[in-house]
Structure 1
Amino acid sequence: MKDVYKNRYGEDIKESAVKRLYSVAVSIFAIGGMLGGFSGGMIATRFGRKGGLLLNNVLGIVGACLMGCTKIANSYEILFLGRFIIGVNCGLNTSLVPMYISEIAPLNLRGGLGTVNQLAVTVGLLVSQVLGIEQILGTRDRWPVLLGLAICPAILQLLLLPFCPESPRSDNPSVTVVRLSYFGYLLITKQREEEARKALRRLRASNQVEADIKEMRAEERAQHTEASISMTQLRCSPTLRAALVIGVVMQLSQQLSGINAVFYYSTDLFVSSELTEESAKFATIGIS
């Protein structure tokens, strides 16, 4: 940032201005993530879970390319834009992936597979920090490669996701029961039970699909008896209020705990505590 500013304006940038620009580069990712998270439901309804994830990979590839080309383009604005787009990509993944996993997973594995997704997120954070040490990619010359590596998971998912089962989605998103998947669509909406059985056998790699058929039939009956409610009714309902409050408080406490500040600025915090810069980076890896 200092070099770009000097090349543009012929003078050194103030240290306070550098810190402001760096803060924008760091925080704009979280802003993009917030927008992506809020958009997840709309994208899932419009394109389905699998379709939404496939489209989201385009954002991942564009964002990674922008970040990787920042130094070549000699522009920190491109870094900001790339970080924002990658933030939107991550926000959408955060909302779409758990939906997709929970809706294709057998009932007895649903919780476990959801936990594996969270584990993968934290392992990804750890791997990125290991790659960011000076001995690997955390150098003056190689940092664009480090940021550009975000293209790898996007391309990998773009190649592999088409082979996965169809996107589970509800035909009527306003109802409470939303786990009517592609199989439920075949079974309930189209009344093509044999096709639904074939699709389930492929997904489960087993002929024992009667439990899934019964579960979807139960969901069909529940959908017909469940009335749709507005957000106001949801907030005012005594039976649903406790679950709503617990869900909201859990999400807010995670974000407002300051964990993002710890992740983004832990190296600086350790340096200010008189650790060497190299030791501070290893301490950050230890936190992860």
Structure 2
Amino acid sequence: GLTCFLCYAIFAAVLGMFQFGYNTGVINAPQSVIENFIGDCWKERYNNNIEGSKQDLIWSIAVSIFAIGGMIGGFCGGIVGNRFGRKKGLLLNNLLGVGGACLMGFSQMLYSFEMLILGRLVIGINCGLNTSLVPMYISEIAPLNLRGGLGTVNQLAVTVGLLLSQVLGIEQLLGNSNAWPLLLGLAIVPAVMQMVLLPVCPESPRYLLMSRQLEDEARRALRRLRASSHVEEDIEEMRAEEAASQTEAHMSMLQLVRSSALRMPLTIGIVMQLSQQLSGINA
């Protein structure tokens, strides 16, 4: 069932998805003041006003480079999760979160829009890794009967992050010419919180058993998460999953795209995700 320690572990992990939501929406509200900052930086360096087209280009790069970082992080998520483990991967990823937040937060102080752009790229990589590692960790620590329901916590954290970023971005709060670096720099908070909370949590039992073959450690992790010594059912379910995965044919990305049987489900999934983003939900 849903134990207190399992809730704690889920909260600690889902801070990564909150980070993703917050950084997706945080750049929108203070657009005008950040564009003015770009113009001020240009004038300070070159003693003339920036052309409107150049200002728009720099602003567009600062916004869109977050998505480029997200793609990089998303593609690397599986590699990081398998190489370092789900928990350790999340902890290491927070170094990127802290670094990206600091770059954005200090960009105005150092009069550098390049720092803002680089910070957005770094925090984008951080969020891309979170979108892979957080659902992976939560699904692997959750009991089988709660796995589907707890999976929705990821999207809930994203929407809470989006909402908070929009509220704090109001001009009367942090969306003004003096406070916008703090608005962007607040991305350090969920990263630091996760670095403090997550070390108490165990590594994913599935990773320990199926990837590392550490059955005793997997049992200890399950006992802590389930608050019970009766974990044989979970162990057997993992073994059955491992046996089933070994009998499945392995496919490369190219084979997946070429497969006529999988082409329609793949197309539907891609179109649904594209439709969500093209609807302007994050605009």
* TM-score category, normalised to shorter length: 0.7 to 0.9
2:75 to 29, 38, 46: 38
Kindly state the Cα deviation for residue 45 of structure 1 after the two structures are TM-superposed. 2.0
Q: Distance in 2 between matches of 1:103 and 1:242?
A: 28
- The one of 87, 100, 109 equivalent to 1:63 is 100
CA shift at 1:21, angstroms?
1.4
TM-score by length of 2: 0.79
**1:162 and 2:199 are equivalent in the alignment:** yes
Contact 1:51–1:167 (CA<8 Å) still a contact in 2? no
Q: 1:80 to 1:220 in 2, by over 3 A?
A: closer
1:145 aligned partner: 182
Aligned to 1:214: 236
User: Structure 1 residues 12, 206: CA separation in 2 closer, same or farther (over 3 Å shift)?
Assistant: same
Partner Cα distance (1:255, 1:58) in 2: 28
Residue 27 of structure 1: which of 32, 50, 64 is its match?
64
| 1:182 aligned onto 2:204 | no
Q: Would you say 1:125 and 2:162 are equivalent positions?
A: yes
Aligned residues: 246
Give the Cα–Cα distance (whole angstroms) in 2 for the partners of residues 181 and 120 of structure 1: 24
Query: Unaligned regions of 5+ residues in structure 1, if any?
Result: 169-179, 264-288
Whole-Å Cα distance in 1 between the matches of residues 259 and 55 of structure 2? 50
For residues 56 and 262 of structure 2, what CA distance do their matches in structure 1 show?
45
The change in CA–CA distance for 1:205 and 1:149 in structure 2 (over 3 A counts) is same
Bigger RCO (CA 8 Å, 6+ sep)? 2
What is the match of residue 113 of structure 2? 76
CA distance in 2, matches of 1:80, 1:196: 42
1:204 alignment partner in structure 2: 226
User: Which residues in structure 2 correspond to 1:197-276 (within 5 Å)?
Assistant: 197-237=219-259, 240-260=262-282, 263=283
TM-score by length of 1: 0.78
Go from structure 1 to structure 2 and tell me whether the alpha carbon gap of 1:226 and 1:133 turns closer, same or farther (over 3 Å shift): same
Q: What percent identity do the matched residue pairs reach? A: 66
1:91 pairs, out of 121, 125, 128, with 128
Name the amino acid aligned to 1:202: R
Q: CA deviation at 1:82?
A: 0.5
Q: Bigger radius of gyration, 1 or 2?
A: 1
**Dislocated runs of 4+, deviation >6 Å:** none
Structure 1 Cα separation of the partners of residues 191 and 217 of structure 2: 31
Equivalent-residue separation in structure 1 for 2:217 and 2:91 (angstroms): 24
Q: How far is 1:140 from its partner? A: 0.9
Mapped partners of 2:46, 2:211: distance in 1: 61
For the residues of structure 1 that align with 2:263 and 2:56, how far apart are their CA atoms?
43
- Residue 234 and residue 2 in structure 1: after superposition, are their counterparts in 2 closer, same or farther (change >3 A)? closer
- 8 A Cα contact 2:169 2:175, kept in partner: yes
TM-aligned CA deviation for residue 141 of structure 1: 0.7
Structure 2 match to 1:2 = 39
